[in-house]
Structure 1
Amino acid sequence: MYDVMAVGNALVDHEYLLNDQQLTQTSLAKGSMTLASLEEQTQLLAEFEAQRLQPSKQTGGGSAANAMFAFASLGGKSFYGCRVGDDKAGEFYLADLNQAGVATTSEKSVSAGGVTGSCVVAITPDGERTMQTYLGTSSDINADNLDFDALTQSSWLYFEGYLAMSESLRPALQQLRQQAKDNDIKIAVSFADPAVVNFAKEGLLEVLGDGVNTIFCNAEEAMLFTETSSITEAAQALTQYCQLAVVTNSAEDTVICEKDVNAATTLTQVPTPKVDKVIDTNGAGDNYSGAFLYALSQGHSLTECGKLAGTVASQVVQQFGPRLTVEQYQAIAEQVLSA
């Protein structure tokens, strides 16, 4: 049995430390994610090499995978459906998740002859992350890569917003949604990036379908999606598509809007822990979603969920890389949930 089954793009992250001038010399939009071909990814890496820039860290990545890494490290049982190549990067990627306790299936996830996707993450001195993603074989993820039996054994189904950009997965997403509905499995969706809302809103609406239980997003994504001008308006507007909208706002309070059976909404604000210095925001939102969903799946109050998620995310932004150690996650859970 699993607490949650997640589906997402499998990407190995290559993090680089850049100043703002170096970033402007690329074609990347600061703070956002850009999809690239293998040729474009190779060209960007060659430009970095020419500038003698070396990656500071290589880690398993991908939005939903980061969330599930946090979920499992906190003590939850998670399963991750994805597609990697039969290369060293793919082997590293699945082993990295398995070591943290995230279940996968190499029989379905590994594509013979495929190239594992990669994400170049540029971190500027303000801690902002800017990404260029080559999806590789992950762009061809389809029903054959997914374990529908694992879903039947799960209480939650989790989608990352980037899947809205995947044409090949759309039929499988509908199949997953229907199976979840037939088995009373709750669905959570993370918008993942403003680029998803800007360039794939129609696909995102398909992912949401006739409604989900929970939406995770940040204030920018929420306001873009709902075409509102404040975080509270946006959170309330999101309940047209879900029962629970969780909207983060960088260092400001997270706004949680819950809709009851009579369609009445209740707003809860949870303070975000203050940090001395933001080093790297890569993976912060993913970790927030994974930690919140873990606490929610274990029956904690919305305030407790927000406190755990906020504490995890605040620790993530104070170090390089999108994930903490298992020991760090567990120490935070003990500190927050046993208080």
Structure 2
Amino acid sequence: MKKYQVVGIGNAMVDVLAQASEAFLEEAGVKKGIMQLIDMERAVDLYGRIGPAREISGGSAANTIAAIAHLGGRTAYVGKVRDDQLGAIFAHDLRAQGAGYDTPMAPKDSPQETGRCIVLVTPDGERSMNTYLGVTEFLSPSDIDEAQMAEAEWIYLEGYRFDGPESHEAFAKAIAACKRGGGHVSLTLSDPFCVERHRDAFRRMIREDVDLLFANRAEILSMYQTADFDEALARAAAEVRVVACTESEKGAHILADGERWHVPAVPTQIKDATGAGDLFAGAFLWGLAEGQDLPTSGRMGCVAASEVISHIGARPEADLRALFAAQGLG
């Protein structure tokens, strides 16, 4: 048995969550419903303009790993923070969930601070993310522990991580070590604008290295440059062994070995859509690692996504395993 079921690699962030009106987004020049990269000056300015906020450790892949740890999975995370207040919060929160986290911190005198994402949540539950990557942008191959990757049944790669200057090299090192150890590679596309920036690199990795692809409807349409959802799914399934694609309130579509399953969403009152895809991926991977079949893992993913959008914040607050049991899962 390997030490880890899943090891995630991503942007280590602290989320700053605040409610905002549509008018505020327009006035502040924030594009609704997407992630946009901002610099430190913009981060400070925007933080000064928002209302009351809640700071929660986040980052897409870190949320996924926190969900797996919450479920009792053997898991660890790789992502860069600085030795500062937010960095300490991030490390404490992840370890408190039960995940391993040993990425070396950048020193206190580093010119970049720990990254943060200012998440503005409109009354419809949609989130608009304004991300200052900070020191996490500079995750390098030297931060990848090959022995750790070889001890993973799965590695989980965050698409947002493609924006760093040495990201591709770091991913390549992790993939090679994982594959040498007999492990499998999963990738999440993260955001349609991220796909636009790195489509060629994504496609190359999907064709050559990825065993399981996570995406939502907008991301997979962007990846395959088509308006036909079924066509995009089919093209993805021709390139990768398993595709798990979410479609908001319509649930998720799982494709593998020439078969396709639709998994219905679990109805809930949406308070904050942040983390829905992250929790879907976490529960799905945990299900697979625990020996569940693809449709059951997909149902677990939809239950976890429903839980996380029912409250503010991108990490589970209810007992996911109890929720699975209530749905006859696991």
The Cα of 1:124 is off from its aligned counterpart by 0.2
Q: Which runs of 5+ in 1 are unaligned?
A: 260-264
CA distance in 1 between partners of 2:189 and 2:179 (Å): 21
Aligned residue among 287, 301, 309 for 1:317: 309
Aligned residue among 108, 111, 131 for 2:106: 111
CA distance in 2 between partners of 1:243 and 1:335 (Å): 30
Maintained 8 Å contact 2:137/2:161? no
2:263 paired residue number = 270
CA distance in 2 between partners of 1:205 and 1:71 (Å): 27
Aligned residue among 296, 301, 308 for 1:304: 296
1:28 paired residue number = 30
Aligned residue among 207, 210, 213 for 1:212: 210
CA distance in 1 between partners of 2:206 and 2:175 (Å): 9
Distance change (3 Å), C-alpha of 1:338 and 1:131 = closer
Q: Does 1:42 align with 2:37?
A: no
Pick which of 197-206 and 293-302 moved more.
Answer: 197-206
Equivalent pairs counted in the alignment come to: 325
Report the residue type matching 1:69 in the other structure: A
Maintained 8 Å contact 1:98/1:104? yes
Q: Secondary structure at the match of 1:192?
A: coil
The Cα of 1:256 is off from its aligned counterpart by 1.0
Aligned residue among 80, 87, 102 for 1:90: 87
CA distance in 2 between partners of 1:38 and 1:168 (Å): 20
CA distance in 1 between partners of 2:206 and 2:80 (Å): 22
Q: Secondary structure at the match of 1:240?
A: helix
Pick which of 171-180 and 58-67 moved more.
Answer: 171-180
Pick which of 13-22 and 108-117 moved more.
Answer: 108-117
Percent of residue pairs bearing the same amino acid type: 28
The Cα of 1:13 is off from its aligned counterpart by 0.2
Maintained 8 Å contact 1:74/1:333? no
Q: Does 1:281 align with 2:273?
A: yes
Q: Which runs of 5+ in 2 are unaligned?
A: none
Maintained 8 Å contact 1:82/1:146? no
Aligned residue among 13, 16, 21 for 2:15: 13
The Cα of 1:10 is off from its aligned counterpart by 0.4
Maintained 8 Å contact 1:211/1:241? no
2:127 paired residue number = 129
2:161 paired residue number = 163
Taking only aligned residues, the RMSD between alpha carbons, in angstroms, comes to 1.5
Mapping of 1:58-69 within 5 angstroms? 58-69=55-66
Relative to the length of structure 2, the TM-score reads 0.94
CA distance in 2 between partners of 1:18 and 1:119 (Å): 15
Report the residue type matching 1:126 in the other structure: D
Report the residue type matching 2:291 in the other structure: G
Give a deviation string over 1:186-219, Cα, whole Å, max 9, x none.
0000111122112222342354361311001101
Report the residue type matching 1:38 in the other structure: M
Give a deviation string over 1:1-37, Cα, whole Å, max 9, x none.
0101110000000001001111111222110000111
Give a deviation string over 1:278-313, Cα, whole Å, max 9, x none.
110001110101110110111101111111110110
Q: Secondary structure at the match of 1:111?
A: coil
1:293 paired residue number = 285
Aligned residue among 317, 321, 327 for 1:330: 321
The Cα of 1:267 is off from its aligned counterpart by 0.9
Distance change (3 Å), C-alpha of 1:239 and 1:288 = same
2:96 paired residue number = 99
